[in-house]
Amino acid sequence: MTEVKERINPPLDAPDAAEEQYRWNRRYPELGTGPITTDRFLSEEHFERERKLVFGKSWLNIGSVHDFSGNGSFFVRDIAVLDVSLLVVQDEQGTVRAFHNVCSHRGNKLVWEKSGPCPYLFACRFHGWGYKQDGALASVPDEGEFHFGSDDKNPGKDGLGMVPVRTEVWKGFIFVNLDASGTDSLAEHLGPLGESLKDFPFDALELRHRYDVSDEANWKVILDAQNEIYHLPMLAPLHRFLGGGAFATNEDGYTRLLDFERLGLHTVFTSDSDIEWVDTPMRTAVAKAHPDGGLTTLPIRGPFVFHVLFPNMVLGFLGDFMFTYNVWPESVDKSVWEIRMHFPRPDTLADRVIHDLMKVRFRDLLCEDVTGHAALQVGLKSRARDVFVVGDQEVQIRSFHQNLDEYMERGNRG
């Protein structure tokens, strides 16, 4: 059996068979058992409410410090659902700031490159206004012709820097909040989820691979499809073959959650198995060739741990690597699924081989998932039914939609 070294939280004991049915409804009766409406995946009006009340007011993960080439560098992050472009800067001292990527002169997009080292000044290509790394306006060609600060209608030059965006960094992940009037800090937003991961050694991992996938589906279709393991024994051929036994099943072969928790707006679920399992032949051969190849070395609860950070980020662990998802809506039925894979720094060539094997294995599973997302959206568009049903082993989905509805209701109340 796969072992786990120094788990942050020990796994719970698996329930007795008599206690298995409706286990999660008994623990979280407030979630109910009713169906979920399908109009939320199809309605332009509902999508607009999500855009304004969720993405326009939430803390959003836009990347990590891995996106910088080092101190004194930048990257540009476009958020289509909010029609904004952000310039994200790490200055020479390592401080991270984000600004609207807009020149204060006449609104031109300031930086057109995707990333790079910070120039002496970020200069607008239209008229040459230049800004420092801290956003201050430093240079205006023919400055004497402008009425800076001449009266209360004309701001002074010191009031015409790049417009800052609320920015905080947690464990190397960069978050922004476009709601300038918001009061909750990132720590308050993360709440107990952030606390549960406060000792995790994120700095021991490096970003190795990234996939940005255009997905023909509503953003919640994508998130829901990933936010459960019910489909794993049935979805074929790749999931059935490559799942490899890392997910607990009952005697009939259906997957079972080991634990599920609601952590404020966020959730986490785990799957584990107390029985010996047989991995795929290739992975087994690699594990035998490397002393630690068959061990889970990250300090996690079990072989598979899946955190959903409201509204659109996933922080997951599978064996010896960490993956993150960011699901970015572009329209009611189109999204970008951003996938990143992080591994411990390799010590040997065998480590590198194992990591590359996991990359390919994971990529193949994701390709099958993308096809499934599009098929789900097609079925929903038919409007053959106006609701879908959710089983007890899909409690994560029920919780997410309740959190989403309640968050928007609070936003409506102001």
pLDDT in tens, 386-408: 999 999 999 999 999 999 999 99
In this structure, are residues 72 and 96 in contact, taking their beta carbons and an 8 Å threshold? no
> Span 296-325, mean pLDDT?
88
Alpha-helical runs (H) found in 55-197: 186-196
Tens of pLDDT, residues 374-388: 999 999 999 999 999
CATH 3.40.190.290 correct for 17-56+202-412: no
What percent of the chain has pLDDT above 70?
A: 87
pLDDT at res. 282: 61
334-344 and 387-388 strand pairing: unpaired
Question: Is residue 38 predicted with pLDDT exceeding 50?
Answer: yes
pLDDT at res. 9: 44
Confidence of residue 275 (pLDDT cuts 50, 70, 90): very low
pLDDT at res. 5: 41
DSSP 8-state assignment for residue 301:
S
Kindly state the helix (H) or strand (E) to which residue 397 belongs, with its residue range.
Answer: helix 395-412
> Span 8-33, mean pLDDT?
73
Confidence of residue 4 (pLDDT cuts 50, 70, 90): very low
Per CATH, 17-56+202-412 and 60-172 having the same topology is answered no
> Span 190-203, mean pLDDT?
94
Residue spans of the domains in the chain: they are 17-56+202-412, 60-172
pLDDT at res. 347: 81
Tokens of 151: 């009266």
C-alpha 77/C-alpha 275 separation (Å) is 45
Confidence of residue 2 (pLDDT cuts 50, 70, 90): very low
**Residue of 64, 109, 95, 114 lying closest to 326 (CA atoms):** 64
pLDDT at res. 290: 61
Tens of pLDDT, residues 67-113: 999 999 999 999 999 999 999 999 999 999 999 999 999 999 999 99
Burial call 184-204: b when 16+ CB within 10 Å, e when fewer: eebeebbeebbebbeebeeee
Mean pLDDT of the chain: 88
First-to-last CA distance in the chain? 51
C-alpha 304/C-alpha 272 separation (Å) is 7
Which has the higher per-residue pLDDT, 414 or 253? Answer: 253
Question: Is residue 277 predicted with pLDDT exceeding 80?
Answer: no
Question: Is residue 11 predicted with pLDDT exceeding 90?
Answer: no
Confidence of residue 362 (pLDDT cuts 50, 70, 90): confident
In this structure, are residues 309 and 170 in contact, taking their beta carbons and an 8 Å threshold? no
Confidence of residue 359 (pLDDT cuts 50, 70, 90): confident
Pick among 3.40.50.300, 2.102.10.10, 1.10.287.370, 3.40.980.10: CATH of 60-172: 2.102.10.10
The length of the chain in residues reads: 414
C-alpha 333/C-alpha 335 separation (Å) is 7
Which has the higher per-residue pLDDT, 341 or 360? Answer: 341
Q: Rounded to the nearest 10 degrees, how much is the dihedral formed by the CA atoms of 174, 177, 182, 183?
A: 0
**Residue of 178, 160, 180, 167 lying closest to 103 (CA atoms):** 160
pLDDT at res. 123: 98
Strand-pair partners of 167: 176
Range among 80-84, 296-300, 301-305 with highest mean pLDDT value: 80-84
Question: Is residue 180 predicted with pLDDT exceeding 70?
Answer: yes
> Span 124-142, mean pLDDT?
97
> Span 13-27, mean pLDDT?
73
C-alpha 299/C-alpha 317 separation (Å) is 10
CA distances from 87 to 78, 96, 99, 106, 244 (A): 9, 11, 5, 17, 42
> Span 203-232, mean pLDDT?
94
**pTM of the predicted structure, to 2 decimals:** 0.91
C-alpha 264/C-alpha 38 separation (Å) is 25
pLDDT at res. 395: 97
